[in-house]
Structure 1
């Protein structure tokens, strides 16, 4: 246990509860910080292998890089993600505080509402919708394997670009995730131990199949997409685009990583565990995703960017069904813990008098349906656009959080002041109100990083949205703080 990690006592926790704070918000005592390096090593292993991640890799193959370079870029990206998770999780592991209080320590008790909404109300809801649609595609394949006629239901019916079978499966899978969200996601713990090894058995088997039908690993590494489909970015720029996209995938859990690191036995444990988890997971994912997508494309004679299209072409119904079931399980698990639950809590925090947790789940779920998430996976470019928007929204928040904690406050948080009763007149409390400089830096960087979505000439800013947004917010915030002195 590191000397720099601080542990509150049971008496301190009871005192905080008397101030009106519930069990979920107060700092974790030493007895409740029970996640060691091994626990963190298994924490993110299963989250890497989901449908949107495979879809993103399908897009990476059209950037102009060779398959081996795409794999190397994914591995480098895993190191960037782990660094972000470890460093932004330091406040949680050092003080035992959750994301909500980490935000308060940066933006102020009132100011924390905006970044909390960006994480839980925007990113989480958007991801919830996308994951639901990705899962519904897998469910559609599963149903069609046993009931082929299902695909013809509705004829030419179209609801804003989705046919009736797709709309039915999306609604079913959406409803399943809503019900799990209403239950708090606790039921997922029962099959997590089964899910993680099953993931690697299934995806390992798929990779072996793809290498075999693709003519061997040498043939896969030598593969190049059709010239007219390649965007042809300079290699270094393509690397940065991939790194930005991968970090954007983790932008939401990375921003709120204190919700996980608050349970760490020490900062050292969460640092080692998360780094090893993401590195090993992406080493396996880099090999399996590239092999499956290219091997399947070679075998079926069609360039595929969506792994579900490959699974759908398998003649073996049991093999396809097993793969689809694993995809469904990973989607449900990731969606509950990473999307709908944070969204519900943030909506409840924004409107504490009128929205409780369950109402938050229902509101977030309805919004996730209305945004028509099937538009986000229409082609290999649309998933990039989605990730770029998420990066633009959450990159600035990450930049401000890191600058504030490490440079401005030098890793020091006054726990007693952080948990004051803010309904009273505590004008001298450093955490009361809004950190104006943090707001200015966040909004300015957000506007710049999202500009590429609406101004074609600034498209490159959009392609690097998280990296640019985080760097700009970091620099702007420090300049504003320096100018205030």
Structure 2
């Protein structure tokens, strides 16, 4: 397809440029080099984000006990894993991304609607991640430099100056990775994901000490009123699954780089349900620990680290 033409019964046709470009073309064999560890570490990076932490932590805040929260997480991410595994199969088999796969269902015109919907969803989530990431950068700079917090007295375009600068720093870091392509992101996740998991383990140890053992963390009673549990359970499932809605659609954009079906299946089986389970378990443990340490649940790990 490199010459942008094809031949049908002796007739030479020019490919429609609106339907083809290098990003939409099947991934060549030399670029299909992602093994199972690449997908495992990629999911470590995807899983270990503040939104996933806060959504899991808020299950404790609304009144679920440890086991109820963990059950809700297990069911939700179990369903997500099944959908992602099914959607990722065609990407690994044919080396094609989500927009091309969507054409087989909606047609080449109808597929544009799904791409626009996914784009809107991606813009929303990018905005959420940028804001939360900016809070983290701002907190790091605030505790590192005594004068940094004083910048909040100056405002620019409706934002405190220190938060505005933190936003720019976060945006530039995102832009650097994005401009260097998905391979750069993969290499970044190889070390970023494990580092965040180690930080989570440190917070779990702190929570166990705050509660004087694991038993108090897992035995705290539920405070959800009788008759309201299943409604809260289903709403919480919607929130948990919603955080993964974009990737449930566009996972072929990542599995198209897989060396084989086995690599993407094993890597995602380790990286998605297991890592989500571990990370969410950390969030539940730590949030329950904050109840013992401070008298009320703290769901934002940034605020928690600042208190510590």
- TM-score, scaled to structure 1: 0.55
Mean CA deviation greater in 80-89 or 21-30: 21-30
Structure 1 residue 134 displacement after superposition = 0.5
* Change in 2 beyond 3 A, CA 1:27/1:118: same
SS of equivalent residue, structure 1 residue 253 = helix
Aligned to 1:47: 46
How far does the alpha carbon of each residue in 1:392-428 deviate from its partner, in whole angstroms, 9 at most, with x for none? Answer: xxxxxxxxxxxxxxxxxxxxxxxxxxxxxxxxxxxxx
* Change in 2 beyond 3 A, CA 1:232/1:112: farther
Query: Are the aligned partners of 1:124 and 1:252 in contact in 2 as well (CA < 8 Å)?
Result: yes
Match of 2:191 among 176, 194, 218: 194
Match of 1:170 among 131, 144, 167: 167
Query: Are the aligned partners of 2:54 and 2:283 in contact in 1 as well (CA < 8 Å)?
Result: no
Structure 1 residue 145 displacement after superposition = 0.7
Aligned to 1:220: 217
Structure 1 residue 157 displacement after superposition = 5.5
Aligned residue runs from structure 1 range 460-471, under 5 A: none
* Change in 2 beyond 3 A, CA 1:296/1:263: same
SS of equivalent residue, structure 1 residue 53 = helix
Aligned to 1:131: 129
Query: Are the aligned partners of 1:64 and 1:233 in contact in 2 as well (CA < 8 Å)?
Result: no
Aligned residue runs from structure 1 range 318-329, under 5 A: none
Structure 1 Cα separation of the partners of residues 221 and 155 of structure 2: 37
Structure 1 residue 258 displacement after superposition = 1.0
Structure 1 residue 36 displacement after superposition = 4.0
Aligned to 1:381: none
Aligned to 1:82: 81
Structure 1 residue 14 displacement after superposition = 4.6
Structure 1 residue 136 displacement after superposition = 0.9
Query: Are the aligned partners of 1:64 and 1:238 in contact in 2 as well (CA < 8 Å)?
Result: no
Query: Are the aligned partners of 2:41 and 2:189 in contact in 1 as well (CA < 8 Å)?
Result: no
How far does the alpha carbon of each residue in 1:426-482 deviate from its partner, in whole angstroms, 9 at most, with x for none? Answer: xxxxxxxxxxxxxxxxxxxxxxxxxxxxxxxxxxxxxxxxxxxxxxxxxxxxxxxxx
* Change in 2 beyond 3 A, CA 1:36/1:111: same
How far does the alpha carbon of each residue in 1:338-383 deviate from its partner, in whole angstroms, 9 at most, with x for none? Answer: xxxxxxxxxxxxxxxxxxxxxxxxxxxxxxxxxxxxxxxxxxxxxx
* Change in 2 beyond 3 A, CA 1:199/1:155: closer
Structure 2 Cα separation of the partners of residues 137 and 257 of structure 1: 28
Structure 1 residue 210 displacement after superposition = 1.5
**Which residues of structure 1 form unaligned runs of 5+?**
1-12, 315-485
Tell me how large the CA RMSD over aligned residues is.
Answer: 2.8
Aligned residue runs from structure 1 range 48-127, under 5 A: 48-120=47-119, 122-127=120-125
SS of equivalent residue, structure 2 residue 108 = coil
Structure 1 residue 277 displacement after superposition = 1.8
Query: Are the aligned partners of 2:217 and 2:285 in contact in 1 as well (CA < 8 Å)?
Result: yes
How far does the alpha carbon of each residue in 1:51-93 deviate from its partner, in whole angstroms, 9 at most, with x for none? Answer: 1111112322233321221112212222111101011222222
Aligned to 2:207: 210
Q: Which has the higher contact order (CA 8 A, sep 6+)?
A: 2
Aligned to 2:293: 299
Aligned to 2:12: none
Aligned to 2:284: 290
* Change in 2 beyond 3 A, CA 1:56/1:17: farther
Structure 1 residue 95 displacement after superposition = 2.4
Query: Are the aligned partners of 1:63 and 1:232 in contact in 2 as well (CA < 8 Å)?
Result: no
How far does the alpha carbon of each residue in 1:283-320 deviate from its partner, in whole angstroms, 9 at most, with x for none? Answer: 21132111122213321334212111110112xxxxxx
Aligned residue runs from structure 1 range 17-416, under 5 A: 19=15, 21-29=20-28, 32-120=31-119, 122-155=120-153, 163-184=160-181, 187-223=184-220, 234-314=228-308
SS of equivalent residue, structure 1 residue 97 = coil
Structure 1 residue 116 displacement after superposition = 0.3
Structure 2 Cα separation of the partners of residues 103 and 261 of structure 1: 15
Mean CA deviation greater in 264-273 or 249-258: 264-273
Aligned residue runs from structure 1 range 432-471, under 5 A: none
Aligned to 2:9: none
Structure 1 Cα separation of the partners of residues 163 and 221 of structure 2: 32
Structure 2 Cα separation of the partners of residues 17 and 243 of structure 1: 48
**Which residues of structure 2 form unaligned runs of 5+?**
7-14
Structure 2 Cα separation of the partners of residues 40 and 150 of structure 1: 38
- TM-score, scaled to structure 2: 0.84
Structure 1 Cα separation of the partners of residues 168 and 72 of structure 2: 36
Structure 1 residue 31 displacement after superposition = 5.2
